[in-house]
Amino acid sequence: MENKGSILMQRYELGRLLGQGTFAKVYHARNLKSGQSVAIKVIDKEKVLKVGMMDQIKREISVMRLVRHQNVVQLYEVMATKSKIYFVMEYAKGGELFNKVAKGKLKEDVARKYFQELIGAVDFCHSRGVYHRDLKPENLLLDDNGNLKVSDFGLSAFAESKRQDGLLHTTCGTPAYVAPEVINRKGYDGAKADIWSCGVVLFVLMAGYLPFHDSNLMEMYRKIGKAEFKCPNWFPSEVRRLLSKILDPNPSTRITTAKIMENSWFKKGFDPKSVKSETDVKELTPLDTDSVFCSSDSGVAERKAESAKLSNLNAFDIISLSVGFDLSGLFEEKDNKREARFTSKQPASVIITKLEDIAKRLRLKVKKKDGGVMKLEGSKEGRKGVLSMDAEIFEVTPSFHLVEMKKSSGDTLEYQKLWKQDIRPALKDIVWAWQGEQQLPLS
């Protein structure tokens, strides 16, 4: 149980509950080392696995790794125990933008400022091939200086999610903010759909109510499909014209973020130079790369070297490599006995030499050695063919490596016996930590 005042992973003191949903709770917390305030999203692993939402969790981690922008909530680190997943994120003290709008419409200058920050963040996300797909005031937070922060990337999609027609096909988002082409289920451009949602947000900020609203959902969908809305009389003519271009039911003629940023109303008081991206925004809490490395498991499994040098992984490319923060069990619903991972503080050359020595002693052929990948292969045919295994070395830093070893062919029992009796014991002098074997207790 998470209780106020309890210490999480010997790193954070949990504070008050900020909000909760079906699968997660968000707490205010304090970094014990720096004293900095953070928000910690606590996800119930069992509930997530039951409803098959693990891909959504992995996607959120991957997206937040890709998108580093001053107007996007920053992910500092990911941790886990057997039952919980923890996202340690930037704390947006000002709460949801929705709370401001709930009190009534905003002044034009204030609404424009938030809209400028929203478009800047969305444009940056799109440049990274990321589409949010659930933009609404509830997912737009404010920091203690009143700056907008886009959050909740659980429904986001990558450019790679597109089918051969170049369109996304998953219907998601909140009905009142969803673009007509998303509702039609015929495929849609994620960038165009996000722009529509931004238009709805602008309308809500300026009007204090939704442009498309009806107690009958199908009637609301009809209005969205025809872009049937009416601007209140206090809307300036410039805003009306801009909204007509954003809330265009035809995505092919809908305005782009680039064109929005050229709009005369939008540009008032907007300084493009003030926008900082991943290259120059400072981390409020730098990741401790000796203790926590974060990303989805696919960051390890799918990053195959394309050249003769080792795969390079940054701090967000491996989830919790250190002892006590391993997430290998998080993304594997059943125990996988065919592979093992360990971290080493030895140089790559030492690791390679050690693997070659083991292969020589066990009379295994080293068939392949490029891109940090070595294939160790037996000489005799077994019940299920020749036993072979792959060893892949990932460089986290020049002096810190992750090594993944797995059976690629042959009999599993034979592999397990060889691994347990010969290979694993022979590796002990280069292993810093085996992954998934030393969890820190957390009550």
Q: List, for residues 355-406, the tens digit of each pLDDT value.
A: 999 998 988 888 766 556 788 888 777 667 788 888 888 765 566 677 888 8
| Phi, psi for 342 (deg, rounded to 5) | -145, 155
Using the 3D structure, point to which of 50, 68, 90 is the last residue of a domain.
Answer: 90
Pairing of strands 75-80, 84-90: antiparallel
Cα separation, 75 vs 296, in Å, equals: 13
Out of 42-46, 140-144, 155-159, 378-382, which region has the weakest mean confidence (pLDDT)? 155-159
Residue 352 lies in a domain: yes
Predicted pLDDT at 341: 80
Residue position matching structure tokens 């954003």: 246
- Looking at the fold, whether 349 and 421 belong to one and the same domain comes out as yes
Angle between helices 237-246 and 190-207 (to 10 degrees): 150
Predicted confidence band at 434 (pLDDT cuts at 50, 70, 90)?
Answer: confident
Using the 3D structure, point to which of 90, 112, 129 is the last residue of a domain.
Answer: 90
Residue 407 lies in a domain: yes
Q: Contact at 8 Å (CB) between 279 and 67?
A: no
Position 142 pLDDT exceeds 70: yes
Residue 202 lies in a domain: yes
Predicted pLDDT at 87: 85
Domain count, the chain: 3
Residue 209 lies in a domain: yes
Position 114 pLDDT exceeds 80: yes
290 is catalytic: no
Cα separation, 18 vs 41, in Å, equals: 10
- Looking at the fold, whether 58 and 81 belong to one and the same domain comes out as yes
Which residue has better confidence, 308 or 152?
152
Residue 183 lies in a domain: yes
Q: Mean pLDDT of all residues in the chain? A: 74
Output the domain CATH number for residue 314. 3.30.310.80
Residue 61 lies in a domain: yes
- Looking at the fold, whether 185 and 330 belong to one and the same domain comes out as no
- Looking at the fold, whether 106 and 229 belong to one and the same domain comes out as yes
Angle between helices 108-127 and 190-207 (to 10 degrees): 170
Residue 280 lies in a domain: no
Q: Contact at 8 Å (CB) between 402 and 340?
A: no
Q: What is the pTM for the complete model shown? A: 0.58
- Looking at the fold, whether 162 and 27 belong to one and the same domain comes out as no
Which residue has better confidence, 233 or 286?
233
pLDDT in tens, 331-349: 333 444 567 888 787 888 8
- Looking at the fold, whether 122 and 102 belong to one and the same domain comes out as yes
Output the domain CATH number for residue 268. 1.10.510.10
Predicted pLDDT at 268: 92
Active-site residue identified among 55, 109, 123, 134: 134
* Residue 247 vs residues 200, 228, 357: alpha-carbon distances, Å: 8, 9, 66
- Looking at the fold, whether 313 and 401 belong to one and the same domain comes out as yes
Residue 2 lies in a domain: no
- Looking at the fold, whether 118 and 133 belong to one and the same domain comes out as yes
| Phi, psi for 72 (deg, rounded to 5) | -125, 130
Pairing of strands 311-312, 385-397: parallel
- Looking at the fold, whether 262 and 399 belong to one and the same domain comes out as no
pLDDT in tens, 213-225: 877 778 888 899 9
Range of the domain at 21: 7-90
- Looking at the fold, whether 303 and 330 belong to one and the same domain comes out as yes
Q: Contact at 8 Å (CB) between 143 and 92?
A: yes
Work out the burial of residue 403: count CB atoms within 10 Å of its CB; fewer than 13 is exposed, 13-18 middle, 19 or more buried: buried
Cα separation, 16 vs 26, in Å, equals: 9
- Which tokens in the block code for residue 131? 């589409």
- Looking at the fold, whether 35 and 74 belong to one and the same domain comes out as yes
b/e burial code for range 213-231 (CB count within 10 A of at least 16 → b): eeeeeeebbebbeebebeb
Predicted confidence band at 112 (pLDDT cuts at 50, 70, 90)?
Answer: very high
Handedness of CA 422, 423, 424, 430 (dihedral sign): positive
Residues across the chain: 443
Predicted pLDDT at 103: 87
pLDDT in tens, 160-171: 344 444 443 343
- Looking at the fold, whether 247 and 112 belong to one and the same domain comes out as yes
Which residue has better confidence, 252 or 184?
252
Average pLDDT over residues 86-95: 87
Output the domain CATH number for residue 39. 3.30.200.20
Using the 3D structure, point to which of 43, 63, 90 is the last residue of a domain.
Answer: 90
